[in-house]
Each structure stands twice: as structure tokens, then as C-alpha cells.
A and B are shown apart, each in its own frame.
Chain A
Amino acid sequence: MTPLRVLTLLFLLLGVLSASASAIERFPPPEFTQHTLPETAVPVPRAAAWDYIDSVVLLAALAAASYLSLARRSRRGLFVLMLFCLLYFGFWREGCICPIGAVQNVALALFDSGYALPWVALVFFALPLVFSLFFGRSFCGAVCPLGAIQDVVVLRPVSVPRWLQHGLGLLAYVYLGAAVLFAATGSAFIICQYDPFVSFFRLSGSINMLILGACLLLIGMFVARPYCRFLCPYGALLRVVGHLSRWRVTITPTECIQCRLCADSCPFGAIEPATTTQLPAIQASDKKRLGILLALLPVLILGGGFLVSRLSVPFSRMHATVRLAEQVAREQADRTRETTDASDAFRTTGEPLESLYARALAKRRQIGRGAWLLGGFLALVLGCKAIRLAVYRRRSEYQADRGYCLSCGRCYAYCPMDPRNQQAQPIEHGDDT
């Protein structure tokens, strides 16, 4: 290990620890003095103008990213745009609002008629999807601040085996499904609660989230953009939409000569190698396997639904009403148990216990139904993935996977058929950014 690597690791380790130092507690109210407590300051509401500004900036950034990735094929331009978005959406706007979290707003609005969906949340949710439908994942490549902060720390990316990437990529669907379930039932916005990088953007946050974010950045030095590839719930959506995109990033602007120079250029493992012209001979076992997988799909969905529905009790504890009801029930059963602020507040409302319990149980039943749907959805994703991996495909050229390609533009520089690369020497620079 070189001294630079040692220094890097040590730096990050100390960075994690020192991050905790800045996460100290708030100043306590004075005791044993005549000091008059100041009035509680209420944060100024978010100015409506920022909604318009953010939306315009997002639209412009998406348009620029699409132009730079598809028309200009400029990695440098994308990198500069990415830095701008990191500074603007990340450090300036402090990571909120973002399309990843907007998934939850939309889910809640769909299932709770009493929730008024902010239009800016809808815009942030829909615009990247629409752009993905036409231009691929340009949002991920240059606009998303979470992607950007990971991108700038990519130093020596190692290649993750594609089979492992296929497997780990499924975790994003688990996160997406859970986030939708908890948001739709009004339980929690877990994407926001567990946003690993927002603490950096705000230079403040809980110690746990700082450690999580720092660990992801540490991993991200060697496994490029781990959150984007394996966890991001919005990325899971964009992955699906990306498969349907009208235009997409191509490694070569002309014709692939299968020189294989680009094969290892993508730190995200999104380049699929060409195949030989002959497909494998389809055997009876292949047909049988595909048939079994197709036939098993409904069983898988039912089984998945049943399995996840077993978690309705722990899932329901994500909801404040259920937690409160359980706390109150424990206090009722054991009168010596210490009460909480929430249970004390509940008792001042005069609401009958029965009413609280009934509300909590109704919420639990609702979450139980949601758990069935979540299990079915996850089983469907697994089944579809397995089916997709049971079908042979022919590729005449090395190409970016429509779903996994993040439109970062790193591969452009590796194609000898690109006129701009034809002046290049056989010895290439490691990374143009």
C-alpha cells in the first residue's frame, strides 16, 4: 500500500471521528440563574420563489446534461455541470428538495387524499423520469447531488463482477418498496431520514448518519457510486425507465469495431460486452427453465406477499400512532413504567384509550395489506430479473446498458472511432477529470 493510500484511509477514518465532534449537542437552557429564556425562534418558511428557481435550475441542468451526454459527448462538460449541481442542489439548497425524496411525497399523495402534494415535489419527481424516458439517466450522471458527491471521490474503482452487480442492484428495489410503503401509510419518509449525504450538505446531522455517509464515501473511492448502484430507490425507477429511453449514451459515435478498449472504462460496470454472432444453441433445458420461471412467478408473488406480511407488526411500529398506542398499552399494563412525552401529551387530549388502540390497529391492518403488496412487488422484481437472465441476447457491439448506464461520459475517451480521440496516444491518462 502506497503512503498516499495509507494517508487517504487514515484521513477518512479521522474524518469520520471528527465529524462526530461537530455534531455536538445544542446549548442547554440556563439553570440556576435569573436569565430570561429567549422566545422560541420559528424558522422562516421556505420562500415560494425558491420552488420556481429550483424547478428552473433542475430543468436547465437536465437539458444541459442531456445535451452534453448525447450531443456534445463531453465528459468534461458533464463533470463541470455535476460540480455545479453538487454545489447548488447539495450545499446551497442543502439536499432538499430532491427527486429521490419526492418519491415519498408522490406515494403519500396517491394513498392519502388528505395530503396536498406540493407542485415542486411533483416536478422534481417527474422531470428526471421524463428526461430518462427520452435521453437516458442524464439526471444521475450530472444533476443528482448525491451521485455527484460520490462521483468526486471515485479514485481507484475496482470492477464489481456483473453477476454480483445484478444481485446487489435488487437491493434498490427493496429500498424503493419499503420507502413507498412507509410513505403511503404515513409512517415515515425513510429516504429522507436515512439520506447518507445530507449531513455533509448541511454540515450538521446525527452521528450515525455522518458515519454512514462517510463509510459510503470511503467505499465509493474503490467501488464507484455504491449508493447510486445498489441502494438508490429513485435510481431503481430510473433504471426501469432507462430501458425504454428513446435516445441513450453510446460508447462509439460511429461503428463499434470491437477493439475492447472501452470494456473496462466504466467504473459502474455498465458496459456490456459484445457477443459472438452465434447465440448458444437453445436447448430443451433452457426452454424448461424459462417455462418453470414463468410458471413460478405467480407463486413467487404470493409467497413473497405472505412472507413480508409477517412483518406487519414491526413495520407498523414505524408509524407514530402505533408506537404511541404500544407505549400507552405498556404503561397501562405496568403503572410503574416511566411515561414518555408522547404518552403524557396523549393523556391530556382526553381521547379514550380504545379510540387510540382502534386507530393503531386500523393502521396496522393497513400496513399489513401494504406489506402483502410489498412482498408481491419484491417477488415480481426477483422473478423478472431471473427471467431476464434466462434469455440469450445478441450484441454486435460493446454498449452501455440502458438501465445501468449513468450517462457520466467516461467511456467517450476510450473509443478510437471517436474523431476527437484519434489524436490520442496509445498511452492514455487515467481520468480526464
Chain B
Amino acid sequence: MANEPNHNQKDWPPDEQGRRFWQRTATAAAVTAGLFSLIVSAVLIVNFLRQSPSRQLLAEDAGALDNPQLIEWRSQLHQDPHNESLKQRIRGLDMQLRQDYFWRQGLNQRGGTLLLIGAAVFLIGLRLAESLRQRRVEPGESPLDAAGQRRFLSVGRWAVAAVGLVLAGSILGLALRSDESTLEAAFAALTLEAGAAVGGQATLAGGDYPDWDQLQQNWPRFRGPGGLGVRAEGDYPLNWNGESGAGIAWKSAESIKPGNSSPIVWEDRVFINGADLCPDPNLAVYCFDAASGELLWQQSMRHSPAPGEDPLEIYEDTGLAANTMVTDGRRAFAIFATGDLVGYDFQGNRLWSKALGVPDSVYGYATSLIMYRNLLLVQLDQGEPDDDKSVLYAFEAQTGNVAWQKQRPVAGAWTTPIIIRTPAGEQCLTCSDPLVISYDPADGRELWRADLMGSDVAPSPIAANGLVFVVQPYDSLYAIRPDGAGDVTKTHVAWKAEDGIPDIASPVAANGYIYLLDTGGYLTCYALADGKQQWQQEVPGGEFQSSPTLVGDRLYMLSREGVMVIAQAAPSFSILARSPLGEISVCSPAFCRGRIYIRGRQHLFCIGKSAEGEHAEP
């Protein structure tokens, strides 16, 4: 009020007296409303603090019944559930707390309304007093001269720059402080473990293919979905005896042609191939009813030697039918050591066949078939790296036409490729002497390679935890990050292990660990994350050529003598059961819908409940 003239009120004109009266009145109203609001605020705050002494101030998630006494009595009642007196006390206190709650709630509502009214009167009074306050309007800023405008613009630009810098700094700070997302890694780990052709609906020309769920429910290729030898869960038998028939659902009656390939399963059908020499190669494909073991159909074809073809030399341990079939749920495909490739529909009608020529393989061609969407992929590695004989083919499943083919600078090998999915896309991972090569399975474009392998590579690659794993027999296990390009030999090997390295059986990995089973029966466990060895155990049972399978946290290991050793895998090793098949077996079992399918030297076994639902115990 410094501007007010200092003279007697009586001398003021009536307008001025009125203005001053209203100004004082408005000020008094504002003060009164302010004090009233303060009192209401204080009451509300006290009410809030008193409503639950045990809770923290402003905690929004505490309950109105979080009363220490009530909690204590409840606890006592838990110990003495028939104490009626205690129940009465609890009910009384519970009722009182609820009544208090509603009383406080009503008080809050009334207080909130009074506070709003008080605030409104306070504001109106203040504004009125302010508007009635006289103040002299002084001329403001002078017109900007040239220097002033230049200065203003300059400062304005600096202010904009400062805001830009603060923003940039904030963004950088936020980006640095932000947690690294594990989603990509989780997705990569999951999809690498799931593997295989996750397709959904058909997008490629000419046909359809199964979706991810269908693949997971079946056992469509060597070592199951993705070729990983993993069945995430399921109730699978522990005990059986092939000789006595205990626990055996069925056993193929017919004498199927010999082979070291493994069975594959799609819904109610089990496929397997075999071949013999009599004296020319006689190649056969069998389809069994999964429920009863009835042979639904079998088809044979003869190998026709190409003109000038050398006489076929068969390595006895491998045979002519070591290559496991593959199915897309509509068709089933088989390839043999003769290089004959054939496809059938589910009724046994031959769709197409091709003679790729007898592969030049020291121990006999044994690579299994795989599929990517509607493409049938054939890794036909042979000869030496410089021979330019090795080829990766992609045939259209419906027609047999070549979708693409890729020459491979590798020697013959006995591995089977896998399809992996990474955040950047799908990859077809191959492993031969001397290269691990990843291709785009859609067009055969090479994505990356690593020069890590030596001669006679038999264990197939697997993927888990965002890494792919390849085995150089007797020598090393390599964990490779599959996100590289070009030659990644020196850049993308995450870790390497050298103890317990197998020569034939492929590794298996899940739940944070990778397991290696060598032919001598030594099982070695490494942590996936860092390659640290966890333990090594000798598995009784003799020689192991079949690749192990992980079902949940149980390892199924089939010895050459046909004894399945089932062990708890993690965190420590313990044997749960040993179940004999009664026949020699070197194949990898198929696990599907609670049953295990094992190929013995003479028979195909189905282990589990029989069609009638009986489950014979050994």
C-alpha cells in the first residue's frame, strides 16, 4: 500500500471510501477463508495420519484392516481355530475398524468439500482485494532498438541451444541409465531352442506347411522339433523291458529292413526307412499306426546306378539307411546312402523322387533330412573341401523342383543341419569339415562362417540360450553367437570347452546346461552361460552312439546294447532307471504324446501305454 496517499479518511471521496471498504472486506474474507481452510486441512491430515498408525505415511496400498492387534489375533486364531472367545473379539475389532473407516471416509468427503469451498472463497477474496488495490501503471519496456533486437535474438538462440543441450543430455542419461533389455536374448534363446520351421500360414509359392504348435506336438525329424533332442515336458515312461514286453505298447511284427535311422512321428503315424542289398540296394519306407503298431503301408524302390557309377561300397556300421526321414505333416521324405531321395504322401503314394548320385563318403552318407517351411533341405556333403562336390539343396516339397542350391567348400560329414531363429531372421546352420556355415534358408545366401571344424564331424549342431553349439569330435565344443556376418571365427566364439567331447552323439541343452555324452559313456555338463564345467559322470551301460534326449529335466541315454539309462540331469546327476530294450540300438528315440519310439536292430518299439490303455509294469 505504499502508493496510497497518506491523509485523513474523512477527506476521501465516496468512491475511494467504498473501494477501500471492499478491499478490506475482501482481504478479511480471504484471511478468514484461508484460516478456515487451514483448520480443515489440519483436520484432514490428522485424520489421515490417525486412520492407521501402523502404516507408512501416504502408503497407498495398505489396507484399512491392517491393524496390528487384528493381525495378531488372526494369527492366534490360526493356532487355535476353535477359540470362540477369540473369534468374538476379532469380530468386534473388525466391526469397529470398519465403522471407523466409514466414519473417516465421510469426514474426508465432507472435509474435501469444505476445503474446496474454503479455497474458492480464499481465491475470490484474494483476487478481489488485488483488483481493488490501486497501483500506478508505469510505461514498460521501450521499443527495441537495433542493438536491443540483436541482443534479444542472440540470447534467444542461446536459450534454444541450451534447451537442446539439456534435452540431448537428458536423453543420453536416460539411455545410459536404462536397463539393457533381455527380451531379445530371451526371444533368441527361446526360438533357438524351439528351432525348426516356425511358419504359421503359407507364404511361399506352392503349398502349406505346419505351424509352430504342430511341430512341437510331433517329432517330425531327427532329434525332434528343431533337431535339438529336447522335449520340454511330458509324462514319459521310466521303466520297461523289451524282452519281457513289460511297458511295451507294441513292437513291429514285420521284420523291417535294416537301418540306423531313427523313427519320426506325426500324429497317428510313425515313419521309418530301411534298406538292404540283395544284391542291389533295395530301399524301403514304412508307415506304422502309432496307436497299434499296425503297418499301414510300405513302399520300396530300387537304386539305379548311373552310367559309369562305381560299384556301391557300404560301410557296415553305417548301412544304407542311416539318414532319418522328415515330414511336414502332409508328406514324408527319405534319403538313403545311395543318394536316392523320395517323397510320399501320407497314403503312401510316391510324389517324386530324385537320384542325387552316390555321395563320396568314407563311412557312408548319413546326414538326415530337414525342412524349412515348404522346402526340403538336403545337406549332401562329400569328398574333400577342395573337391567342390558338397552341395546344400533346397527342393520344393510339393514338386521336387530345386528352389536353390549352394556349393559348399567342405568335406563329407555326418551331421544334420538345424534351422534357428534369431532376432535378425532365420538361419540354416550346417557343420562340416572345416566350416560351420550359416545360410538364409529362404534363398541359400551365406550369412556367416567359422573355421572351427576338423575331419570326421559326426555330432550335429544344436542351439540354446541364444548360442549355437558345434562339436569337433574328441577335441572341442564351441559356443558361437549367431549374429555375425562374414568370417566370425575370431569374433563370435563365446566360449570353448575341451573336456568330455563326444565323437558321435550330438549334445543336448536346456534349462541353462549343455550335456555331452561320449561313446565311452562319460557324461559332462557345462553351464550354457559361460562354459564352466559343472560335473562329469560315468554312465553305466557300455558304449553310447545314440544322441541323448532331454525330457523336462530327465536325460534319456540309450546305450548301444539297448539299455536306456534315465537320469536326473540338473542340478546334480542321479540315475533314475535303467530299462533294457533287448536289442542293439544306435538310433535316437522319438518322444511323442507320452510314448517313446525306439528302433532296435530288428524291431521298431513303442514304449508306453498300449492302445487299450493298459500300462504294463516291468
Which A residues have a C-beta under 8 Å from some C-beta of B? 3-4, 7-8, 10-11, 14-15, 17-18, 20-25, 27-28, 30-33, 152-153, 155-156, 162-164, 166-168, 170-171, 174, 203, 206-207, 258-265, 273-276, 278-281, 307-308, 310-311, 313-314, 316, 322, 325-326, 329-330, 332-333, 352-355, 357-358, 360-361, 364, 378, 382, 385-386, 389-393, 414, 426-433
Query: Top 9 closest A-B pairs, CB basis?
Result: A263-B140, A167-B159, A21-B48, A260-B139, A14-B41, A329-B186, A18-B41, A280-B146, A21-B44
Closest to B182 in A: A329
Once A14-B45, A152-B123, A357-B187 are accepted as A-B contacts, the answer to whether A275 and B144 lie under 8 Å apart by CB is yes
B116-133 Cβ-contact flags toward A at 8 Å (1 or 0): 100100110011011111
Closest to B125 in A: A4
New contact pairs (15) apart from A260-B142, A280-B149, A428-B136, CB-CB < 8 Å = A10-B38, A14-B42, A20-B45, A22-B44, A22-B111, A24-B48, A25-B64, A27-B101, A167-B160, A279-B146, A311-B178, A352-B213, A353-B190, A391-B153, A429-B132
> B63 is contacted by which of A28, A385, A428 (Cβ under 8 Å)?
A28
Closest to A293 in B: B157
Chain A nearest CB, measured from B606 CB (Å): 28
Closest to A426 in B: B136
Question: Contact: B137 with A261, CB < 8 Å?
Answer: yes
Closest to A28 in B: B63
Assembly CA distance A432 to B131 (angstroms): 6
Assembly CA distance A360 to B185 (angstroms): 13
Question: Contact: B112 with A203, CB < 8 Å?
Answer: yes
Question: Contact: B146 with A166, CB < 8 Å?
Answer: no
Q: Which residues on B sit within 8 Å (CB–CB) of A316?
A: 181
Question: Contact: B183 with A364, CB < 8 Å?
Answer: yes
Within 8 A of A (CB), among B24-43: 27, 30-31, 34-35, 37-38, 40-42
Assembly CA distance A31 to B130 (angstroms): 55
Assembly CA distance A156 to B453 (angstroms): 80
Chain B nearest CB, measured from A428 CB (Å): 5
Chain A nearest CB, measured from B76 CB (Å): 13
Question: Contact: B64 with A308, CB < 8 Å?
Answer: no
Question: Contact: B168 with A307, CB < 8 Å?
Answer: yes
Q: Which residues on A sit within 8 Å (CB–CB) of B131?
A: 429-433
Q: Which residues on A sit within 8 Å (CB–CB) of B309?
A: none
Chain B nearest CB, measured from A372 CB (Å): 13
Q: List 21 A-B contacts (CB under 8 A).
A: A11-B119, A14-B42, A14-B45, A20-B48, A21-B47, A24-B48, A27-B101, A32-B94, A166-B156, A168-B163, A206-B60, A207-B58, A273-B140, A276-B146, A353-B190, A358-B187, A389-B153, A389-B157, A428-B134, A428-B135, A430-B134
Chain B nearest CB, measured from A242 CB (Å): 19
Most buried by A among B74, B98, B122, B140: B140
Assembly CA distance A275 to B142 (angstroms): 9
Q: Which residues on B sit within 8 Å (CB–CB) of A353?
A: 190
> A260 is contacted by which of B63, B91, B112, B141 (Cβ under 8 Å)?
B141
Chain B nearest CB, measured from A336 CB (Å): 14
Chain B nearest CB, measured from A219 CB (Å): 15
> A414 is contacted by which of B115, B123, B137, B171 (Cβ under 8 Å)?
B137
Q: Which residues on A sit within 8 Å (CB–CB) of B123?
A: 152-153
Question: Contact: A361 with B139, CB < 8 Å?
Answer: no
B2-36 Cβ-contact flags toward A at 8 Å (1 or 0): 01000000000000000000000001001100110
Chain B nearest CB, measured from A274 CB (Å): 4
Question: Contact: A429 with B183, CB < 8 Å?
Answer: no
Is B205 in the interface zone, CB < 8 Å from A? no
B266-294 Cβ-contact flags toward A at 8 Å (1 or 0): 00000000000000000000000000000
Once A307-B168, A378-B167, A427-B134 are accepted as A-B contacts, the answer to whether A18 and B44 lie under 8 Å apart by CB is yes
Question: Contact: B130 with A430, CB < 8 Å?
Answer: yes
Question: Contact: A264 with B141, CB < 8 Å?
Answer: yes
Once A25-B60, A28-B63, A310-B172 are accepted as A-B contacts, the answer to whether A361 and B140 lie under 8 Å apart by CB is no
Assembly CA distance A264 to B136 (angstroms): 12
Assembly CA distance A265 to B139 (angstroms): 10
Is B353 in the interface zone, CB < 8 Å from A? no
Closest to A356 in B: B187
> A28 is contacted by which of B45, B64, B136, B187 (Cβ under 8 Å)?
B64
Q: Which residues on A sit within 8 Å (CB–CB) of B160?
A: 166-167, 170, 382, 385-386, 389
Question: Contact: A32 with B213, CB < 8 Å?
Answer: no
Question: Contact: A27 with B64, CB < 8 Å?
Answer: yes
Question: Contact: A33 with B146, CB < 8 Å?
Answer: no
Question: Contact: A354 with B38, CB < 8 Å?
Answer: no
Is B306 in the interface zone, CB < 8 Å from A? no
Question: Contact: A326 with B182, CB < 8 Å?
Answer: yes
- B interface secondary structure, majority: helix
From B102-110, B394-402, B406-414, B495-503, the one touching the partner chain is: B102-110
Is B51 in the interface zone, CB < 8 Å from A? yes
Assembly CA distance A427 to B136 (angstroms): 5
Once A14-B42, A207-B60 are accepted as A-B contacts, the answer to whether A32 and B74 lie under 8 Å apart by CB is yes
B195-232 Cβ-contact flags toward A at 8 Å (1 or 0): 00010000000000000110000000000000000000
Q: Which residues on B sit within 8 Å (CB–CB) of A433?
A: 127, 131
Q: Which residues on A sit within 8 Å (CB–CB) of B179?
A: 313
Question: Contact: B111 with A264, CB < 8 Å?
Answer: no
Is B191 in the interface zone, CB < 8 Å from A? yes
Question: Contact: B127 with A354, CB < 8 Å?
Answer: no
Q: Which residues on A sit within 8 Å (CB–CB) of B488?
A: none
Most buried by A among B60, B104, B160: B160
Question: Contact: A15 with B115, CB < 8 Å?
Answer: yes
Assembly CA distance A22 to B58 (angstroms): 11
Question: Contact: B182 with A263, CB < 8 Å?
Answer: no
Question: Contact: A357 with B190, CB < 8 Å?
Answer: yes
Q: Which residues on A sit within 8 Å (CB–CB) of B62?
A: 25
Question: Contact: A21 with B111, CB < 8 Å?
Answer: yes
Assembly CA distance A405 to B27 (angstroms): 31
Question: Contact: A11 with B122, CB < 8 Å?
Answer: yes
Assembly CA distance A261 to B31 (angstroms): 32
Chain B nearest CB, measured from A417 CB (Å): 14
Is B474 in the interface zone, CB < 8 Å from A? no
Question: Contact: A330 with B182, CB < 8 Å?
Answer: yes
Question: Contact: A17 with B41, CB < 8 Å?
Answer: yes
Chain B nearest CB, measured from A25 CB (Å): 6
Q: Which residues on B sit within 8 Å (CB–CB) of A364?
A: 181, 183
Question: Contact: B178 with A313, CB < 8 Å?
Answer: yes
Question: Contact: A311 with B115, CB < 8 Å?
Answer: no
Question: Contact: B119 with A15, CB < 8 Å?
Answer: yes
Question: Contact: B133 with A273, CB < 8 Å?
Answer: no
Is B243 in the interface zone, CB < 8 Å from A? no
> B171 is contacted by which of A21, A310, A330, A386 (Cβ under 8 Å)?
A310
> A322 is contacted by which of B44, B47, B183 (Cβ under 8 Å)?
B183
